[in-house]
Amino acid sequence: MSFASDTAVTPRSPGAFDAEIRPGWDIAGNTNGGVLLSTAARAILATAEQPHPISITAHYLRPGHVGPISIGTEVVKRGRQFATVRAELHQDDKPILAVLATCGDLATQEGGRYIDAHPPELPNFDSLDGKTSAESAAAAFRASVDSRLHPDDAGYVEGRPSGTPLMRGWFALPQDEPIDAIGLLLASDAFPPTIFNLLEPPAWSPTLELTVHVRAAPAPGPLRCRFSTSFRHGGLYEVDGQLWDSSDTLVALSRQIALEPKGTPFTTP
Amino acid sequence: MSFASDTAVTPRSPGAFDAEIRPGWDIAGNTNGGVLLSTAARAILATAEQPHPISITAHYLRPGHVGPISIGTEVVKRGRQFATVRAELHQDDKPILAVLATCGDLATQEGGRYIDAHPPELPNFDSLDGKTSAESAAAAFRASVDSRLHPDDAGYVEGRPSGTPLMRGWFALPQDEPIDAIGLLLASDAFPPTIFNLLEPPAWSPTLELTVHVRAAPAPGPLRCRFSTSFRHGGLYEVDGQLWDSSDTLVALSRQIALEPKGTPFTTP
């Protein structure tokens, strides 16, 4: 198994694709949102005939689970530089994800430069053990990706939330699988919710919507990621993500809005 | 004229609405993106049968101009708490805006509180003159809204960009028209592009995509707004917006991704 093969799509008819949610990508039985988005994005890029999702937004309608899915795509506008495509992902004859994306070729864009942020400072990749930052509900998912949390942000696993809604860490794929533009979509939703550092015990926190701007094709190597929340109020919180590659380039910006956990807490082993 | 009447929609058939782009909302002949989004949002909320666009994303396909438009909407999922609706706005038989939104009632959500930001510090509303911060290309639009830039961010109008991609200011509607959840969508795209403080002369900077999270219905009074850019590279830049109401509540978060200006500079009077 690999991320690429587990999120592959098969064309069925013009604009329509079949795919399958494989085991190992769920958190407490619900498919990770980044995997759903990545699968939808492969169908979208095929329809767009463009290499990169420059801005992609997904609204999460129902949880996904292991089994077959179908993806319908439609070109909204095909322009000279960009193609805008919408998609709907169905499982058990119900829509589970609605997506809208503008795709293009990042290599053709150019302009000035202004950067006022920097990658998060993290302990060396090899010095961290990904396993220690996995609450049991996410154990299967944490074996499918190689994410390694900053120790300062991982205390929630043992019932010691830091009090700051921040999750920093490395993101890689097992067996040195390269991270491409679609891997950035997975990474954008691959870390524990920031809110796990504000409350306990952890429980399912439903994402309503996730938008990712892919800003550059990543250089080889693990990503350094930073996810933070500035506004938790009214039952909602946003998660702002920065993904940096090994050349210190900001390769993706993500933001999601999620509902506070209200359901059954994840069990701790 | 008022913002509410100029962005009103008329139901034509189930899910389909007619509207009209009125004079006074353009920048160098192209309709402001917030006005297009606000008009689409009125149709979306009517179809959703919900009061608030909790997360709304628009992809800008073609510039709009004064004249009739039509809006098609479709419910993707109607749930117990939320309704997800997609919409397409057409002018001259072509799609100009594609929208995806999840709507609900913010008053029914509740939870904990964590805020680590504060409203921008601005000179008193009455001490600022909105007119002095309007480059000529935006003169018509700046008469339709009452936005008042922080003087430190307004030098670009006279050829003195600050060097920092930041635009802070007050936002109000003329004649004390109240700002509701849809007014927040207008405000999210009502300030000059942050990049005007990095280059000159100003020119049209096309928005590819704009997402707004409406986090609370605003208390009466002008909004304090802060728009900033952290990542300008590869021909693209994002604009992050925070909108605060008179009770110091963060009422909306916005983010757009835009292309660097490449066309004819705006003329200066």
Residue A266 Cα, gap to closest chain B Cα (Å)? 19
pLDDT < 50 stretches in chain A: 268-269
Asked if A106 is an interface residue toward chain B (Cβ–Cβ < 8 A), one would say yes
Nearest to B77 among A95, A233, A234 (CB): A95
Asked if B197 is an interface residue toward chain A (Cβ–Cβ < 8 A), one would say no
Asked if B253 is an interface residue toward chain A (Cβ–Cβ < 8 A), one would say yes
The answer to whether A102 touches A72, Cβ cutoff 8 Å, is: no
* Residue of chain B with shortest Cα separation from A255: B255
pLDDT digits (tens, 9 = 90+) for A33-44: 999 999 999 999
Answer whether 0.90 is exceeded by the pTM.
Answer: yes
Alpha-carbon torsion angle B39, B44, B50, B52, nearest 10 = -50
Contacts with A, B 21-50, CB within 8 Å: none
The answer to whether A117 touches A243, Cβ cutoff 8 Å, is: no
Number of alpha helices (DSSP H) and beta strands (DSSP E) in chain B: 4, 16
CB pairs under 8 A between A and B: 173
Residues of chain B with C-beta less than 8 angstroms from the C-beta of A199: 112
Report the distance separating Cα B254 and Cα A140, nearest Å: 34
Classify strands A250-259 and A207-214 as parallel, antiparallel or unpaired: antiparallel
- The radius of gyration computed from the CA coordinates of chain A, to the nearest angstrom, equals 18
Residue B57's φ and ψ, nearest 5 degrees, are: -125, 130
* Residue of chain A with shortest Cα separation from B249: A233
pLDDT < 50 stretches in chain B: 268-269
The answer to whether A24 touches A143, Cβ cutoff 8 Å, is: yes
The residue whose two tokens read 């492969």 is: A42
Report which residue type is found at A174: P
Asked if B194 is an interface residue toward chain A (Cβ–Cβ < 8 A), one would say no
Query: What pLDDT score was predicted for residue B268?
Result: 45
Residues of chain B with C-beta less than 8 angstroms from the C-beta of A233: 111, 113-115, 215-216, 249-250
Report the distance separating Cα A79 and Cα B163, nearest Å: 33
Query: What pLDDT score was predicted for residue B22?
Result: 96
Cβ-based neighbours of A90, under 8 Å, separated by 6 or more? A69, A70, A71, A72, A96
Residues of chain B with C-beta less than 8 angstroms from the C-beta of A101: 59
Residue B169's φ and ψ, nearest 5 degrees, are: 180, 175
Asked if B244 is an interface residue toward chain A (Cβ–Cβ < 8 A), one would say no
Q: Note if the bond before B201 is cis, omega within 30 degrees.
A: yes
Contacts with B, A 62-91, CB within 8 Å: 62, 76-77, 79, 82, 84, 86, 88
Query: What pLDDT score was predicted for residue A157?
Result: 87
Query: What pLDDT score was predicted for residue B193?
Result: 94
